[in-house]
A and B are shown apart, each in its own frame.
Chain A
Amino acid sequence: MSEPESLARRLQVQLGSKVSSSVEVLGETTIEVLPENLLSVARTLRDDPAWQFEQCVDVCGVDYLSYGQTEWDTTDVTSEGFSRGVEGKGAGRFDWANRPRDTAMPRRFAVVAHLLSISHNHRLRLRTFCADDDVPSVPSLVEIWPAVNWFEREAFDLFGIVFEGHPDLRRILTDYGFVGHAFRKDFPLIGNVEVRYDADKKRVIYEPVSIEPRVLVPRTIRDDSRYEQARAEREAGAK
């Protein structure tokens, strides 16, 4: 196996300005590219004998809405005591424009591909942020790795990310005639419609959901000094 430390740096050197960032965390290398550079970078990664990523094992969409947001304020003490966090702003209760705090994420949707080189036995994560948050789109990798065909259909189905150049961009996992993109963070967990058999109409009908959303365990973020320390030690060790 090639030295994982150098993979990120070697990629940065060879691909130069086409790569927005190239980092190695926890022994895994991640590079970020802009959508316009995606195809040329991917082709280099597949064909260049130095990389030879013959396989694209996984492509998935990520919705960064609500990244780092909590439902339960654990820093301030309230006078009402433990009024549970469902009052707060969790995923599904705000949209991108009205998100409560700015997060570190400048863009909402990303497409993450995981590449694997069988010849060199190394892996790489390739992330592309979609330029437009309303109509997210990236070029399709299907010309380079045919395996991504269904993975891109899945990301389109669940996140509404359009893959330009995909030959057959249909929904794949959700119901025929499904409305919306189920894995977006502003899509409610309980869904929008429910189905049942209507005895009078003698067919299955769709109705608005009748169940109430519940939060059993609020989403919390606690800063743990042990992780901070471990991170600081890692960084000090790296230097």
Chain B
Amino acid sequence: MEEIRNYTMNFGPQHPAAHGVLRLVLEMDGETVMRADPHIGLLHRGTEKLAESKPFNQSIGYMDRLDYVSMMCNEHAYVRAIENLMQLEIPERAQWIRTMFDEITRILNHLMWIGSNALDLGAMAVFLYSFREREELMDCYEAVSGARMHATYYRPGGVYRDLPTVMPKYKESRWHKGDDLKRFNQWREGSMLDYLEQFCADFPSKVDEYEALLTTNRIWKQRTVDIGIVPPDLAKAWGMSGPMLRGSGIAWDLRKKQPYAKYAEVDFDIPVGVNGDCYDRYLVRVEEMRQSNRIIQQCVAWLRANPGPVIVQNYKVAPPKREEMKESMEALIHHFKLFTEGYCVPAGETYAAVEAPKGEFACYLISDGANKPFRCKLRAPGFAHLSTMDTIVRGHMLSDVVAMIGTYDVVFGEIDR
């Protein structure tokens, strides 16, 4: 027996299942993990320090790049922190738009998660299907902001512009032609809301497709059922949030418990798990996609019926209209000041949390009254989740580590910041 000994194994940072740049130092006894030491920070860009050196508005784009699969939710936490400190009243329509885009973002995130998690555990097809719907939703991002991912769409005081009345169409090209082109464009005849309405009507059937591939799949269940069980006590003590907490049976969702934007006015349910294993978290996230779909439908209905301003008419915070600048000296000055110096935020501190797809994403903002944040701490859910890795995977097999990384839904943009 003397020749058998533990050895240390490096998992990542280039491993395809490491979801980015996770370096996991595993102490193995055969195929059993004795200790896991995640090394993070390989994607550390110092976002918080960069934010301290820039006027408030210029950091919104950095927020997109934190958790780069749930972009607008990050923006939401940041702009809410600024709005809290400035005591801004947000137009109702902007709040509905934010609610809608938060949920679009949640679906985007969960689609990415279901695809990559299934891919890690050996199911290639789900990845291909989930990216089909992701594409359709990213077109909504593009329609409102011009960017498919890093939108910088939320601004303190509202959102940058109103929803487009025309949904961009595919043009004829070598890749899009004939019947294909017609099929691609069939939802795009009307406005963005029409497009979303058709998407929402269709999406539950797509979720059924993923479920058909996974929910009762024997291999999927073998890889996820009873793997990575998180008892509720541990989930609370370790600061878990979002689907990780709900998977363990704790019905906690900031959208219900501490509602922001228009979540208090929409109707949706919070799915919770029973056993707290990877399979339960899978079921929770799948159900969350269906619930998000419901919320989007309610937002579409409201937004269709209620036109109005989408950003505050406060030129200290939001730029005046371009036409107005041609006529009004005052508007021109405001525009110049806003884009050169920015605005000063009254001294104080605030902690603004949103229910991001991965859990509680928050921005702790300290202002000393200047035009730049004094301290901007970003609380990333993935950071707290990944810190539990060692506790949870001890005694599991190596392949379960992959299942666990998948179920954490780690994205290194937010963990390393």
Contacts and interface: CB of A to CB of B under 8 A. Distances in A.
Interface of A: 25-26, 28, 30, 54-58, 60, 62-63, 67-68, 70, 91, 112, 114, 118, 121, 123, 125, 145-151, 154, 171-175, 182-183, 189, 215, 217, 219-224, 227, 230-231
Contacts of A172: 40-41
Interface in B345-394: 346-351, 353, 360, 362, 364, 366, 368-372, 374-375, 377, 379, 383-384, 386-387, 391
Given A57-B239, A60-B375, 16 more contacts: A26-B84, A26-B350, A30-B349, A60-B364, A114-B364, A125-B351, A146-B391, A147-B238, A147-B239, A154-B383, A171-B41, A173-B416, A217-B371, A217-B372, A220-B341, A224-B316
B344 interface: yes
A75 to B, nearest CB: 13
B181 to A, nearest CB: 45
Interface residues of B, number: 57
Contacts, number: 129
A127 to B, nearest CB: 9
B48 interface: yes
Contacts of B377: 58, 60, 62, 112
B48 A112 contact: no
A58 B344 contact: no
Nearest to B54: A217
Interface stretch (B130-138, B250-258, B269-277, B291-299): B250-258
Contact of B346 (A30, A118, A224): A224
Interface of B: 40-41, 44, 46, 48-50, 52-55, 58, 84-85, 87, 236-241, 250, 252, 257-258, 316, 340-342, 344, 346-351, 353, 360, 362, 364, 366, 368-372, 374-375, 377, 379, 383-384, 386-387, 391, 416-417
A62 B366 contact: yes
Contacts of B342: 217
B371 A150 contact: no
Nearest to B250: A118
Contacts of B347: 68
Contact of A219 (B44, B50, B371, B416): B371
